[in-house]
Structure 1
Amino acid sequence: MASKVLLGLLATGLALAANTCDVVQDTTSIQMNKRFSIDYTNEQQEYWSAACTNQLKPSCILFPKSPSEVQAVVSILRDNNETFAVKSGGHNPNNYFASVDGGPLISTKHLNEVIFDKASETVRVGPGNRWEDVAKKLDGTGYSAVGGRIGNVGVGGYLLGGGLSFMSTEYGWAANSVVAYELVLANATMITVTAESHPDIHKALQGSGNAFGIVTAYTLKVYQQPAEVWGGHYTFSATTENNKKLLAAVRDFTEYYPDEKAGIILTAETTVGGLLDIWILFVYYNGPEPPAGIFSNFTDVGPLLKSVKKQSYADLLTGNNWAVLRGSVYTIGTEMTPLPSKEHGAEIMESYLDSWRNVSSGVLPVTGLIASVAFQPMPKRLAAKSQSKGGDMLDLDDGIDRIIFEYDYSYWIPSDQPKVDQAMQDTYNGLAGRVKEFQAQDKLPKDAYLPIFMNDGYFRQDYFGRLKPENAALARRVRDELDPQGLWATRTGGFKM
């Protein structure tokens, strides 16, 4: 009997020793930190959503410093059944997409190279960077990379989700400028993916998230840029009259897009009791000063505040970090609409705003809640630019203009999650419902292709189900080729096929 107990204890000890954290610690030199250590605590704070920090606790955090160390971690993961996550900047607020509870978290923090090559007009960028890091390294070179509009956004998840940039109307989605991916596969081997060497994989990586492996480096096409650009933000009061004017302005800006060097995000923000009820317009121009009149439809409304100026691109991105709200549980969702015509624009755009306000009003009493909606123009020329560069998984056609909506709810108390979860679903489903109503009334094109923009997607949304069937099939084919055992499909988060 004693021998059986001893064997049982030995077997249990071996099983426990087989977990990824212990194996990494015992057999490799990879940095590994467990709970309550300084590096563990600091890395856990680098999430935009407090739920990823306070509710989800990895068994350890691994900090590989090279692609070979990433390969070693994947090799260890293959020999157990632990759930895990891979983290770049921690921008994605969906639980388990870049966070994990009880399994190892792989931080790409030390995969942070930024190597500029003027001869090829490219930059090699590690996923551990944030876009402000990339911009600072390129500052003074006369070049910039198509990247995030807020400096604190991480490189990795942003590029794998497509990446909407202030420069997108000039150069397409950020993913359209990825020349090569250095990719660690589920079998722990590594391949370099280009459009020439692996065309299907290259396209699939442009908007399929973390479905195929861990990217340890991106080679990006860079573009000439003046030493200083122009940008910042304007703040407007959310009066009935201002609402009408700003909605008309963003509709017109999207259709008549005055200059491909210009970029905007128009957001509405509100809290309980009207303590905050404003519009914020983020603006950008790829030059030291925009030509007269480009943003006048907005500025003529009469901003309360403005912070626009000539500055380096790196300073612009870093300056936009004020918009990152720390310490709250943060959720994000999205939908898309065809751009309404001038004839029906006021009715439709105001209906969209009303839909958001009606749902938001029901959850504003939630402690600490801030509701916001962003109107993000998707002009035909952006889709055309993307197609000219070989396309991507989203594969927008240039037959119509569109607007992408980003919906955000942030709040303080995790127990309010069920209320906010329902509100988020009601918000994007409410918008989708109104789109269908206007299509049925022949006020919007009925055959419009309206996929989900992954970077803004809520975990409940069917990203792959909204793609064109041939692109969803391509993603499944690449997944089955690269990960036949389903390591990424079954043991980590992200949108699933």
Structure 2
Amino acid sequence: MPRNRGYFHVMVPLVAFFLSYVPVIQAGYGAQSCCLTLAQNLVGSVFFEGQKQYADSLGSYYSGQESDLSPSCIVRPINAAQVSTAVKILSTAHIAKPGSCNFAVRGGGHTPYAGSANVESGVTLDLGRMKSIKVNKSRGTVSLEPGLLWGEVYSKLDPMHISVVGGRSNLVGVAGLATGGGISFFSGRYGLVCDNILNYEVVLADGRIINANEREHVDLRNALRGGSNNFGIVTKFELSSFQQGNLWGGDITHDFNTLPEQLQAFVDYGGNSDFDEYSAFFQVFGTVGGLYFITNNPVYTKPTPYPPIFKKFYEISPQLSNTARIAPLHNLTTITGSVAAMGLRNMFITTSFDNDLPFLHWVVQTWKTFSAELAMVPGLVNTILNQHLVPKTLRKAEARGGNSLGLDPNRVVVIAMLSLTWTEAADDEKVRLAAIAFIKSVEAEAKKRRVYNRFIYLNYADLGQEVIEGYGKSQKNRLRAVSKKYDPAGVFQVAVPGGFKLWP
């Protein structure tokens, strides 16, 4: 069938009329046949090239690499029942003819690498119309649908003076962060995002809709706490909620010459045995147009200005800018999200290591050398973000039933994320190869110095990084067993190519 622009815009009404008189098209004959079957069964929720809804979906991805892909159709379900119908059709196609109708699942669309939540010439399930927020009567739990962004969640909860353990940027999606682990401003008090999910409503590969919680399907619940899109599609997250007023926080930017004091303060903060659980912090080293800077992001989850836990940071001078203030959570996450370059070329890649001062100096100086090599890339914004996961945070997981991440709760880990933004698709390969080479050099040096940590944080990972392997062999085997139990045909391993899979 032709795929020229505008063709489906004209043909969809006619096809829908025709299909009302014929049996459902048999799946297994390619993505376009799947799309027609979906259009028959999900009237008003399937969109094709040339339609506004199709263009709007593609244009709302965080990265240009994702927007470049052209699925045969985009399904935008409005509820779990529609997701179930779509998955049954797509699973039938996969079983009849593997590879004939691959599909992608999109929540917020923030993961930047091409194919993470979109698919070329397949079917994209865009959950962006599923945005319900329900607070129970006691205000002790909140149910969130997967199309929400965290900024939308906080806009609803802030006026109610309650909150949940969620993302730190208003532009990040609920679904991806929650199934990938999730670091929050509240992680010191309550653990990771995934540790605070009480119930998952999940659509399985056969279309069944089940709940996974502490009473039923516990193995699936634990697998979804870090196991991402390997088991089904989560259509509702129920999270613990708590009373929460304003917070204190913001960005404090310094000249790069303050590097020695910055790194010493960073190591001392992460290694503090009396870690203040109300605090959250990350440190960013960046360069734009040949200028280098350091930005600290301290947040305190009480309305307490300049708490003692951050004293070593805010005593560093001079400060080039300071946005720290008392504000609602939504306001602070908007600060974090304001640096996002929506629709440009974007890349994340990550690694982890011990809280070691000499090695941190080596990493930052090596990053500066790497940055110089890419200085001529047009529009390049290049940052490396460092943050800690400390034992007080990691130990929260066990009390909440555990997760799949395989982290040692007695070991401080530094998660480093390299984030790159540029303007021209012609530079994609150059930037990506340089970034991979930099991260590999960091890992090689960390192993040499015996400060390497195998953990790869899924929410920052790039295509090709061995995320599941980083959880450890026993966790990987558990995740594989759960996959075989709930998806015996391997639909989410093979027909959904995006994400980090359990088998090669």
Correspondence for 2:11: none
| Structure 2 contact 407–471 (Cα < 8 Å) conserved | no
1:487 deviates by 1.1
For 2:118 and 2:31, how far apart are their aligned partners in 1? 23
| Alignment counterpart, residue 231 of structure 2, candidates 185, 205, 212 | 212
Cα gap change, 1:89 to 1:18, in 2 (>3 Å)? closer
1:18 deviates by 6.2
Structure 1 stretch 429-438 or stretch 166-175: which is displaced more? 429-438
| Structure 1 contact 375–406 (Cα < 8 Å) conserved | yes
| Alignment counterpart, residue 51 of structure 1, candidates 62, 65, 85 | 65
Cα gap change, 1:117 to 1:422, in 2 (>3 Å)? same
Cα gap change, 1:369 to 1:184, in 2 (>3 Å)? same
Amino acid at match of 1:494: G
SS at match of 1:106: strand
For 1:47 and 1:27, how far apart are their aligned partners in 2? 26
TM-score by length of 2: 0.89
| Alignment counterpart, residue 28 of structure 1, candidates 42, 50, 54 | 42
Correspondence for 1:277: 292
Amino acid at match of 1:136: S
Does 2:439 correspond to 1:422?
A: no
Does 2:208 correspond to 1:189?
A: yes
SS at match of 1:359: helix
Correspondence for 1:454: 458
Correspondence for 1:73: 86
For 2:259 and 2:31, how far apart are their aligned partners in 1? 60
| Structure 2 contact 351–417 (Cα < 8 Å) conserved | yes
Structure 1 stretch 288-297 or stretch 459-468: which is displaced more? 288-297
Identity of aligned residues (%): 27
| Alignment counterpart, residue 278 of structure 2, candidates 254, 257, 261 | 261
Correspondence for 2:254: 236
Tell me how many residue pairs correspond in the alignment: 467
Does 2:154 correspond to 1:154?
A: no
1:118 deviates by 4.3
Correspondence for 1:5: none
| Alignment counterpart, residue 222 of structure 2, candidates 178, 182, 203 | 203
| Structure 2 contact 32–72 (Cα < 8 Å) conserved | no
1:360 deviates by 2.6
Q: Cα RMSD over matched residues?
A: 1.8
1:281 deviates by 1.5
| Structure 1 contact 360–423 (Cα < 8 Å) conserved | no
1:449 deviates by 5.0
TM-score by length of 1: 0.90
| Alignment counterpart, residue 431 of structure 1, candidates 425, 442, 456 | 442
SS at match of 1:218: strand
SS at match of 1:263: strand
Does 2:500 correspond to 1:485?
A: no
For 1:177-214, what per-residue CA distance to the aligned partner results, in whole angstroms no more than 9, with x for missing partners?
00000000111111101022112111110001100011
SS at match of 2:198: strand
Cα gap change, 1:308 to 1:291, in 2 (>3 Å)? closer
For 1:270 and 1:248, how far apart are their aligned partners in 2? 21
| Structure 2 contact 65–114 (Cα < 8 Å) conserved | yes
1:142 deviates by 2.6
Correspondence for 1:472: 476
SS at match of 1:29: coil
1:489 deviates by 0.7
| Structure 1 contact 162–455 (Cα < 8 Å) conserved | yes
Correspondence for 1:295: 310
Amino acid at match of 1:102: S
Correspondence for 1:164: 183
For 1:212-238, what per-residue CA distance to the aligned partner results, in whole angstroms no more than 9, with x for missing partners?
011000000112212x11111111121
Amino acid at match of 1:255: G
Amino acid at match of 1:185: L
Amino acid at match of 1:356: W
1:271 deviates by 3.3
| Structure 2 contact 352–453 (Cα < 8 Å) conserved | no
Correspondence for 2:500: 495
Correspondence for 1:317: 333
| Structure 2 contact 132–145 (Cα < 8 Å) conserved | yes
| Structure 1 contact 195–203 (Cα < 8 Å) conserved | no
SS at match of 2:394: helix
| Structure 1 contact 332–458 (Cα < 8 Å) conserved | yes
| Structure 2 contact 169–334 (Cα < 8 Å) conserved | yes
For 1:356 and 1:29, how far apart are their aligned partners in 2? 51
| Alignment counterpart, residue 51 of structure 2, candidates 20, 37, 53 | 37
Q: Structure 2: any 5+ residue segments left out of the alignment?
A: 1-24, 94-99
For 1:363-411, what per-residue CA distance to the aligned partner results, in whole angstroms no more than 9, with x for missing partners?
2222222211001111121111223322211132232211100111221
For 2:325 and 2:217, how far apart are their aligned partners in 1? 43
For 1:406-427, what per-residue CA distance to the aligned partner results, in whole angstroms no more than 9, with x for missing partners?
1112211222222122112112
Correspondence for 1:178: 197
Amino acid at match of 2:224: L
For 2:31 and 2:391, how far apart are their aligned partners in 1? 56
For 2:145 and 2:171, how far apart are their aligned partners in 1? 15
Does 2:355 correspond to 1:339?
A: yes
For 1:394 and 1:422, how far apart are their aligned partners in 2? 27
After superposition, residues 387-398 of structure 1 pair within 5 angstroms as 387-398=398-409
For 2:306 and 2:362, how far apart are their aligned partners in 1? 32
1:30 deviates by 4.3
Cα gap change, 1:85 to 1:17, in 2 (>3 Å)? closer
SS at match of 2:501: coil
Cα gap change, 1:354 to 1:432, in 2 (>3 Å)? same
Q: Structure 1: any 5+ residue segments left out of the alignment?
A: 1-12
For 1:191 and 1:401, how far apart are their aligned partners in 2? 36
For 2:312 and 2:442, how far apart are their aligned partners in 1? 25
For 1:423 and 1:18, how far apart are their aligned partners in 2? 37
Correspondence for 2:97: none
Structure 1 stretch 69-78 or stretch 33-42: which is displaced more? 33-42
| Alignment counterpart, residue 133 of structure 1, candidates 152, 156, 161 | 152
Correspondence for 2:342: 326
